[in-house]
């Protein structure tokens, strides 16, 4: 009887191991007496599961050592590869030696990665015909695709303007035709990831710049879109799919925190059978095993902010018909004195400072960094509904349209040296 049962028991054990996706070497060897101190032996290591990271804007006024530090942190995290959404160098130069120097610096960072890095161009990277040509000479393509474990990655170019013309946001018909062919040839992938620099779906001229035609190609499949550019985190849902506008990985930011969607992060994606699971990992939360400060992989100097004006603290309140307005963004536009207009290319008004209101309608202004206030001078003031970090989870206030643009708003403020208190009263 014992000889008959033994092969059956062994067979059941082997079958259970095979069913769980484990080898016999993976099975716990402890004799538990029929009870187990684990919930399951279905380990999170399916063949179609993988993990990758996305880095967002490094430039647009990059800060010292941040991206270089993020590279060291990615080496701690060990994704299978790293994907970008553009703005890798400051760019905006028509001098070849300067362009080459910027790329040499960037290469010194990502050359330290212990996994592949996929470049995606941003407006800073391809600001003019010379820079776009330099990209092609260096990387071969401005837009491309790749497959990994039956997931299709589309790396798009949102500055696809014709050679010799002024820089403009555009997805060319040629680029759309390229991706149409790619998608036709990859109908049976389990998911499609789109990486692009600008969140062009929010633009009013999406038809004109070619985005609508590009997006229509995707609508018959599951997909997720990642972009950067705005330096402000926000989630959108379009056509039942998730679109993400990422914050920064060292790019210019006031770093006012989660409520503003302003923080340095990497985006961590775990691709599962049914689609991506996303986590935003803040850089200040990635520490090595000895809890020491992560050191940059190479020297990275920040962009010097020139002509920074002295700021003074500004707090205030917004009332609509005498009641506090919550989740409103208040924007101060500096009225440029005539003697300063030449320095600002003739501008008579420039966006200067902003803040968001709490449940009591209270706000504080920031200009260069969190809570630093505003420079002294005369300001035109606009008030708009604040688009939160998700774009979904907070009811936006109803604000009369006249107040939403500086051109029509009757609101004005004067900021003087010292502490400033401003009360803005709106009427329906």
Helix axes 66-77, 96-110, angle to 10 degrees: 30
Query: CA triplet 370, 376, 381: central angle to 5 degrees?
Result: 75
End-to-end CA distance of the chain: 90
Q: 11 pLDDT band (50/70/90 cuts)?
A: very low
Residues paired with 312 in a beta bridge? 374
Q: 33 pLDDT band (50/70/90 cuts)?
A: confident
Residue 391 pLDDT: 58
- Residue 299 token pair: 């020297």
For strands 314-320 and 362-364, give the pairing: antiparallel
Q: 57 pLDDT band (50/70/90 cuts)?
A: very high
Q: 230 pLDDT band (50/70/90 cuts)?
A: very high
- Tell me how far apart the alpha carbons of residues 271 and 35 are, in angstroms, rounded to a whole number: 32
**pTM (two decimals):** 0.90
Residue 29 pLDDT: 66
Task: Give the count of beta carbons closer than 10 Å to the beta carbon of residue 294.
Answer: 19
- Residue 171 token pair: 């997805």
- Tell me how far apart the alpha carbons of residues 229 and 60 are, in angstroms, rounded to a whole number: 9
CB 332 within 8 A of CB 379: yes
Diameter of the chain measured on Cα atoms: 104
According to DSSP H, which parts of 186-289 are helical? 211-216
Helix axes 96-110, 129-139, angle to 10 degrees: 40
Residue 100 pLDDT: 98
Q: What is the pLDDT averaged over residues 78-100?
A: 97
Q: What is the DSSP string of 125-157?
A: TTSSHHHHHHHHHHHS-SSEEEEETTEEEEE--
What are the backbone angles phi and psi of residue 415, rounded to the nearest 5°?
Answer: -105, 130
For strands 144-148 and 151-155, give the pairing: antiparallel
Sheet holding 191-195, edge to edge: 144-148, 151-155, 191-195, 223-227, 241-245, 234-238
- Tell me how far apart the alpha carbons of residues 357 and 394 are, in angstroms, rounded to a whole number: 13
Nearest Cα neighbor of 75 from 106, 38, 46, 116 is 116
Q: Is the pLDDT of residue 70 over 90?
A: yes
CB 218 within 8 A of CB 179: no
Which domains can be identified in the chain, with CATH numbers?
50-285 (3.60.21.10), 311-426 (2.60.40.10)
- Indicate the helix (H) or strand (E) that contains 192: strand 191-195
Q: 346 pLDDT band (50/70/90 cuts)?
A: confident
Q: 225 pLDDT band (50/70/90 cuts)?
A: very high
């Amino acid at each position: 009887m014992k000889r008959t049962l033994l092969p059956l028991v062994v067979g059941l054990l082997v079958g259970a191991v095979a069913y769980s996706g484990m080898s016999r070497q993976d099975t716990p060897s402890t004799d538990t007496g029929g009870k187990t101190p684990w919930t399951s032996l279905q380990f999170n290591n399916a063949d179609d599961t993988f993990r990758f990271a996305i880095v967002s804007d490094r430039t647009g006024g990059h800060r010292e050592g941040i991206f270089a530090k993020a590279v060291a942190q990615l080496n701690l995290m060990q994704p299978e590869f790293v994907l970008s959404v553009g703005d890798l160098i400051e760019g905006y130069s028509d001098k070849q030696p300067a362009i080459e120097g910027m790329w040499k610096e960037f290469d010194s960072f990502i050359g330290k990665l212990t996994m592949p890095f996929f470049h995606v161009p941003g407006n800073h990277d391809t600001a003019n015909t010379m820079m776009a040509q330099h990209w092609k000479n260096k990387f071969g393509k401005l837009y491309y695709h790749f497959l990994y474990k039956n997931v299709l990655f589309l790396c798009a170019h949102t500055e696809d303007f014709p050679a010799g013309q002024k820089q403009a946001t555009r997805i060319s018909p040629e680029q759309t035709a390229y991706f149409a062919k790619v998608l036709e040839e990859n109908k049976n992938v389990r998911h499609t990831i789109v990486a692009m620099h600008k969140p062009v779906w929010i633009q009013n001229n999406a038809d004109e710049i070619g985005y609508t035609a590009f997006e229509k190609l995707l609508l018959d499949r599951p997909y997720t879109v990642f972009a950067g550019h705005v330096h402000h985190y926000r989630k959108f849902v379009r056509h039942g799919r998730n679109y993400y506008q990422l914050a920064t990985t060292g790019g210019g930011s006031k770093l006012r925190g989660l409520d503003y969607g302003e923080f340095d992060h990497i985006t961590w994606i775990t691709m599962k059978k049914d689609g991506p699971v996303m986590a935003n990992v803040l850089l200040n939360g990635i520490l090595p095993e000895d809890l020491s400060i992560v050191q940059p992989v190479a020297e990275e100097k920040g962009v010097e902010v020139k002509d920074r004006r002295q700021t003074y603290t500004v707090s205030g309140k917004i009332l609509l018909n005498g009641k506090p307005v919550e989740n409103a963004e208040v924007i101060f536009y500096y009225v440029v004195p005539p003697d300063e207009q030449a320095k600002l290319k003739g501008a008579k008004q420039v966006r200067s400072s902003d803040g968001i209101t709490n449940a009591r309608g209270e706000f504080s202004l920031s200009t260069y960094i969190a809570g630093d206030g505003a420079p002294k001078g005369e300001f035109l003031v606009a008030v708009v509904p604040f688009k939160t970090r998700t774009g979904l989870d907070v009811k936006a206030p109803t604000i009369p349209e006249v107040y939403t643009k500086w051109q029509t708003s009757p609101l004005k403020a004067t900021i003087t040296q010292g502490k400033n208190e401003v009360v803005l009263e709106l009427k329906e």
